[in-house]
Amino acid sequence: MNEGWLPRVRGIVTVRLRGGAQEELVNDCLKDGLALWSIRRTSPEELEFAVQVPDFFRLKPYLKRTGCRIHVTQRRGLPFWLRKAAGRKFFAAGIVLFFVTMFLLSSLVWTIEVRGTKRIKQEDLLAAAKAEGVYPFQWSWKLPEPSLLAAKLSARLPDAAWIGVEKKGTRIIFQVVESKRPDAAKLNSPRHIIASSDAVVTRIIADKGRPVVRVNSKVKKGQTLISGTIGEPPNTATVVADGEVRGLVWHEYTIVSPLSIQTNVYTGESKTKWSVVLFGRALQVSGFGGDPFAQSQTQEKLENLGWRGLRLPAGRLKETVMETRVEQKTLTREEAVQAGIERAKEDLMSKAGADAVVKEQKILHEKTDNGKVYMKVLLEVDQSIVKEMPLVQMQGE
């Protein structure tokens, strides 16, 4: 017999007969309309079959008449499932409560992101969104339509040319395109362009004003490069001198570079700590105790909990504490010299500007003493030598 849905709703019992007239019991039951199936002998003394629960309770007179004993080996179907669920009602209620909680949490707005703002303050946009009913811990079904919300926010923020609204799971993302304003005219007083240091001019382009030096000219610090005075007397005028002037400048550095340096290396030993993160707060659940290492570095990895593309305000934090030790590394003289020169170049670039180019380097003096290399280095750099000098100040002098 094929077990359909109706026998499963009524419940199915698999029983085993022992002793008595087993074949007679089966034949009498079938003759009287009882539904028995999967009838088979499990041994010469035992016979097994399946029966629906209502028919199971009708077997008693047949058992008494044939002298058979019955033993239930399996129960399945809806009545037994309900009975088991009733015995575990707290577990079942917990499962239901879990899914209800997940649904409610995923229906809230947890975070609001603002992108593309420079002049517009994020606080102003968030305040405007809150006035329209968009704020953290708001129900998703209470949010206005994105197109309508974007129009209302644009009306509240005149500096925004366009505002896009996108909902991703529990996040609301505002993408802002700010309206362009014409740059305010910068008011400058008439001025000269003078040399910021002694140099040999390698490039000069005067956008405004009159160039007074040429390429390959040697100039002193403070010397005029582009004059803000144009024309011949008595028909002279003053302008805001502007342009680009570059030159070769020499920088001298005194460098002390050690022949031995200390570095931190990992030993391979580590300790892992796990924490549960909920609403931005972490609760440690494993890896208790202090740091077992004398020296260590810690790496953190946060894994957010997600469900069907939704990022929930929960997750776990893994902290790996890795033991380190200090190793002494010995450098050759050449390595120490190169390391010292590189440090000098880094310092030079921070002062001369990112567009500066080191053309040549020369070691003027070098000696090794007490585990260190002492040297004087001359760096030839092509850099901007522009400095502004107001004409008023020039005349005052």
| pLDDT band, very low/low/confident/very high, at 234 (cuts 50, 70, 90) | confident
Residue 394: the pLDDT is: 44
**What angle (nearest 5°) sits at the alpha carbon of residue 150, between those of residues 144 and 156?**
105
Model pLDDT for residues 175-188, shown as the tens digit of each residue: 998 887 766 556 57
Nearest alpha-carbon partner for 268 in 321, 224, 199, 189 = 321
Q: Cβ atoms within 10 A of the Cβ of 129, count?
A: 22
Q: Which residues, in sequence order, are CB contacts of 136 under 8 Å at separation 6+?
A: 109, 110, 111, 112
Q: Could you tell me how many residues make up the chain?
A: 397
**Nearest alpha-carbon partner for 330 in 384, 249, 262:** 262
Query: Which of 2 and 55 is assigned the larger pLDDT?
Result: 55
From the centroid of its chain, how far is CA 182? 36
d(CA 258, CA 214): 44
208 near 192, Cβ under 8 Å? no
Which tens digit of pLDDT belongs to each residue from 253-283?
Answer: 999 999 998 888 898 899 999 988 877 778 8
pTM of the model: 0.46
Q: What is the pLDDT of residue 184?
A: 58
SS3 149: helix
Q: The dihedral of CA 65, 66, 72, 74: what is its sign?
A: negative
H or E stretch at 227: strand 224-227
Burial (CB count within 10 angstroms: exposed 0-12, middle 13-18, buried 19+), residue 262: exposed
In this structure, how many other beta carbons lie within 10 angstroms of the beta carbon of residue 113? Answer: 12
**From edge to edge, which strands make up the β-sheet containing 160-168?**
111-115, 171-178, 160-168
Contacts of 311 (CB under 8 A, 6+ apart): 110, 169, 170, 171, 304, 305
- CA dist 112 and 93 (Å) reads 33
- Position 134 pLDDT exceeds 80: yes
pLDDT, tens digit, 9 for 90 and up, residues 370-381: 999 999 999 999
Mean pLDDT, the chain, rounded, equals 87
pLDDT of residue 373: 94
pLDDT in tens, 17-42: 999 999 999 999 999 999 899 999 99
Q: What is the dihedral of CA 22, 27, 30, 31, to 10 degrees?
A: -140
- Using DSSP's 3-state secondary structure scheme, residue 127 falls into helix
Burial degree of 219 (CB within 10 A; 0-12, 13-18, 19+):
buried
Asked if residue 139 has pLDDT above 50, the reply is: yes
pLDDT of residue 264: 87
Whole-angstrom distance, CA of residue 302 vs CA of residue 278: 12
Question: How do residues 328-349 score in pLDDT, each as one tens digit?
Answer: 889 999 999 999 999 999 999 9
Nearest-angstrom CA–CA distance, 52 and 252: 102
Distance of CA 173 to the CA centre of its chain: 16
- Is 247 in contact with 219 (CB distance < 8 Å)? yes
Tell me whether residue 147 is exposed, middle or buried, using C-beta atoms within 10 angstroms of its C-beta: 0 to 12, 13 to 18, 19 or more: exposed
**What letter does residue 107 receive in the DSSP assignment?**
T
Do residues 9 and 77 lie in contact, with contact meaning Cβ atoms separated by under 8 Å?
yes
Task: For each of the domains in the chain, give its residue range(s) and CATH number, in order of start.
Answer: 5-82 (3.30.70.250), 111-178 (3.10.20.310), 255-260+330-385 (no CATH), 263-329 (no CATH)
